Amino acid sequence: MTVSSAIQFGTAPTIGAPRQASPDLLRSVFRRHAAGVAVITAQGERPVGFTATSLNSVAAEPPLISFGVGTSSSSWPVVAEAEHIGVHILGEHQEELAATFARSGADRFGGATRWSTGPEGVPVLDGVLAWLVCRVVARVPAGDHRIVIAQVVAGDPDGAGRPLLYHHGRFNALRD
């Protein structure tokens, strides 16, 4: 595949010089991609969780979701073995919760985090816009990550508020 500096039809967009593929290029491009913020949880000897912006709906029948998780993350050993995981869609009022679950070494389930044990023994966070408990059906190797595919078994879509977004390295809210 080649990168063309002009388009056959119409006006060529103003673009910079192409850069070679690299982790920095990928991160730089995806900083421009606004994404919803989720927290993924699982139960091992203790609960684990992490902030994810890679959450996707995969299929409606059966209801499947996917997300990426780094194999070097502290949550990976539990997620690698968990039969069920929790998926939590965060609201704009939960920026600090998102930051806590994104911070390495943080006490993610400490006193400031309100949660309870949900279906299948999965930690379910309080006050989120929506949550799901899912049964893991596949863990697909993808570079230094795994793509987890999971089937929905229970959930609640009725939390109040507006979604938290991640864009350009910061948490943001929707604007009307």
The helix or strand, by DSSP H or E, that contains position 4, with its residue range, turns out to be none
Q: Does residue 83 come out as left (phi exceeding 0), alpha (psi in the -120 to 50 range) or beta?
A: alpha
End-to-end C-alpha distance for the chain, whole angstroms: 39
- What per-residue confidence (pLDDT) applies to 17? 85
**Which is it for the CA torsion 51, 57, 63, 66, positive or negative?**
negative
**Quick one: which of 96, 162, 89 has its CA closest to 131?**
89
Report the alpha-carbon distance of residue 88 to residue 69 in Å, rounded.
Answer: 15
If one compares 131 and 11, the residue with the highest pLDDT of the two is 131
For 119-173, the pLDDT digits (tens) are 999 999 999 999 999 999 999 999 999 999 999 999 999 999 999 999 998 999 9
Q: Which residue is associated with the tokens 């010089």?
A: 17
Which ranges of 45-167 does DSSP label H, i.e. alpha helix?
A: 76-81, 95-102
pLDDT confidence band for 2 (50 / 70 / 90):
very low
Structure token pair of residue 26: 């990928």
